Structure 1
């Protein structure tokens, strides 16, 4: 879950001039910032934009003093007296400017892009605060337990999905339920994050060869841990809730409704194994990152994997030296987690791309070429319509993936 599509960020307002570079006499007015302690550091950020940063204790003190209206020179002198450290406060202010934390510099407004428009902006945090109540997971657990204990088990095989003799009905339920469940899953992330004050934006995204819907809840890092985990796990909880309700409905009915509800229960469970593919930053990836107390498990894992590959190939580092190891500067617990995750990242990515190369792409290319051949003369109208549907469906999904991939790369 970066969890997503919101509106594109608007361009910065052109005021005709740039704010002066920070100096000793610089004074700032900061935007509304949130913070929380995290071990020996502080997580500080701006909810409106989702930007956040980890600061040492002295950095948090400098931020607080700047927020009180002291000049950079006054802040530096105060910190020198209280901590004995000599801080380059103008340089610190420049970093705050880059993060978008500064509203005014020496009385002059700092031009910045408007924050991206949230998805479902009309939903306010007080309206969904109940999502964070500990009663909610207790009720979901009770519902799941009731379904498991009182309902006949739903067979976890393809026959359950073929609930009707009419193929169109099977496809209609699969497509309708699939997209509805996907939307509910992402909305659950969005509402849980919104309850903490995080705006949240839903959009299409890509994970390797997969086209996904994701919800950007940047800023949730500033919330308490229980609220963070609630936001990360809200989508999975939604799937389990729908599955349990459908199973209870199937147990209370008979005939076609029972078979359809059993199929719905299984359809709600099918996306969950995907969440264990943590090398693609799924919901469980963010749980893993939080539990291991890593700042950027994926980014650090990629960096370490590249370093390890260079060592093996002996291109830049020696076979025995550790110079250049990007994980060396991390705390011991993060270093262990990053190195272990890098193995999962490399193996998982390789397996996914191998499956793409040996199964998915050959199947898609074969279907596409066969369909294209049936578009020409000598084929019936029914064959041409079927071929057109295949070309449009396959071509459309690949074009949508490519467009989404390109658009998201341009944003980065």
Structure 2
């Protein structure tokens, strides 16, 4: 029998045995990634921590687990506290004979989609096919460079409202397909995944949470991270091949050119790794960092404070450098990334203040003035389209930003 502590939690004694939920484990350099897929909760543990999880999962008591670890490593471990930490993470189903309350698992997008349905997304032949399609498109463009679209190709119709509406519809369709590629690939690896709207600085984005992919093999992880970019390139490549077979003066050619430009436009954004794009997660994985963005942001703030005034003393008389606690390989990556993060953020926000915001305000004011009987049906329709599309995107950005801010506050995070 297991008693309870004063706060109602199960008492952990030397003789206590625990029942763990189904946990997945993967070695990563000098650490082990341990997680529970159902709740998408994961933690990096040293070898001794992973061994403790193994021993507890095999049914050993707290005391027996501590004795075994001491015998194997020559060091003593507080296994009782470790069990408490595992319980707080939601990894423990029962302590002794006392069940541990379990939270509601996060909802997954498209729950009917099973790993067996999406298995094709991880087939080794798929990247080969995508690469062959891209190579064919590049060969066509080398022979016919005039097929490359310019910004004028977006203006395929004299009716600006129609151009804006169709462009927005096509852009959001491509964005949805991009995120579905992440979701399907992650689901093939057994990761639930969830799609939702989010913000990155001044950008409204759709994002897919594929927490749990950390436990997959490297090829599966990189495939899941790069699936969206691969889809964008495949769509663009297919459009190039279709363009090559159409008459340059035909409406179909103009529409295909506009669609090609819309498919290519998101690709430069992926280089903005300071906004946690797909390439950011590739970079984080390959550098072995646990939280490249969070650690980079913390170091950038520290560097700014140090530049404007003397840094505050850290623990044990240290300088307060948040990267000092990281392993050497992570520390180098975090410090380099912090430079990219700070510079990229400043440039993006400056561009928004100097270009994007004034342009949006000007277009919205003009659209509002273009409404009414004195501007004709076509003019009013164009103005209404601008207000709906451009105004709607800005309102949606503000609502999403506020929702995320409120969620972080309720979770107690910055």
TM-score over 0.5 for the alignment? yes
CA contact under 8 A between 1:199 and 1:217: conserved in structure 2?
yes
TM-score normalised by L of structure 1: 0.88
Q: CA separation in 2, counterparts of 1:149 and 1:264?
A: 20
Corresponding residue for residue 307 of structure 2: 312
1:282 offset after TM fit, Å?
Answer: 0.3
Match of 2:283 among 288, 295, 304: 288
CA distance in 2, matches of 1:91, 1:212: 41
1:289 offset after TM fit, Å?
0.7
1:229 matched to 2:222? The reply is yes
1:4 corresponding residue in structure 2: none
Deviations 1:32-73 (A, max 9, x none): 111111112111111122211111111011001111122212
Q: 2:328 aligns with which of 322, 326, 332?
A: 332
Q: Give the number of equivalent residue pairs.
A: 393
Structure 1 residue runs without a partner (length 5+) = 1-16
- The runs of 5 or more residues in structure 2 that have no matched partner are 1-6, 409-414
**Structure 2 contact 270–278 (Cα < 8 Å) conserved:** yes
**1:220 aligned to which of 189, 201, 213:** 213
The structure with higher relative contact order (CA 8 Å, sep 6+) is 1
Query: Given that residues 179 and 195 in structure 2 are in contact (C-alpha distance below 8 angstroms), is that contact kept between their aligned partners in structure 1?
Result: yes
Quote the residue 1:99 is aligned against. 89
Q: Write out per-residue CA displacement over residues 213-254 of structure 1, whole angstroms, 9 at most, x where no aligned residue.
A: 000001111111111000000000000000111111111222
Kept in 2, the 8 Å contact 1:43–1:221? The answer is yes
CA distance 1:107–1:195, shift in 2 (3 Å): same
CA distance in structure 1 between the aligned counterparts of 2:336 and 2:156, rounded to whole angstroms? 43
| Cα RMSD for the two superposed structures | 2.4
Q: 1:100 to 1:354 in 2, by over 3 A?
A: same
Q: What TM-score, normalized by structure 2, do the two folds share?
A: 0.88
Measured against aligned partners, the alpha-carbon deviations of 1:374-409 in whole angstroms (never above 9, x if no partner) come to: 779x96676777666555555433332222122223
Q: Displacement of 1:260 after TM fit?
A: 2.0
Matched residue, 1:10: none
Q: Which residue of 1 aligns with 2:186?
A: 193
- Which residue, out of 36, 46, 49, partners 2:36? 46
Q: More deviation in 118-127 or 169-178?
A: 169-178
1:361 deviation in Å? 2.2
Q: Which of 59, 75, 83 is residue 65 of structure 2 equivalent to?
A: 75
- 1:93-242 equivalences under 5 Å are 93-150=83-140, 152-153=144-145, 154-165=147-158, 167=160, 170-242=163-235
